Amino acid sequence: MPQYTVQLQWSGTWHPGGVWTIAGETPALVSLNVTSPDNGQTFSGVTQFAGQGGIEVRGTNNGNGTYAVQLQWGGSGAPWNAAGNWSFGGNSILSITVNSANNGQTITGTMQMPGQGGVDVQGTLNPS
């Protein structure tokens, strides 16, 4: 279960952003590009894990700082598969776009939370 210690940047300063937990038996995160149409209650988009191609992802806010996530691979007619509870530092999200240039060891990008502007994100994969 990959976990990333994350920092968020606003006003030119980096701040602790908590731990992002990407649940399930997944390799490290290579990219995540999701948006929420309903103020953080749900999200959908595309993710990619180390050594794999891009797959569809969607999540529903559990109300406790986590999202119940499902993944879909094999095309639009394929079934959705439970991928556990993911957490983004305990935050609800409007959007996240992060990528890794080193096979998931670090991630960088942007995110936006309800009621806030966008912030820069950087994270480091925690040792298992």
Asked if 71 and 59 count as a contact pair (C-beta separation under 8 A), the reply is no
Asked if 1 and 112 count as a contact pair (C-beta separation under 8 A), the reply is no
pLDDT digit string (tens) for 56-101? 999 999 998 899 999 999 999 999 999 999 999 999 999 999 999 9
Q: Look at the domain 3-123 and name its fold.
A: Lipocalin (2.40.128)
pTM: 0.94
> For residue 42, what are its two tokens?
């749900």
Q: Which residues pair with 58 in a beta bridge?
A: 44, 70
> For residue 104, what are its two tokens?
């998931």
Q: Which residues of 24-104 form beta strands (DSSP E)?
A: 29-35, 42-49, 54-61, 66-72, 81-88, 95-99
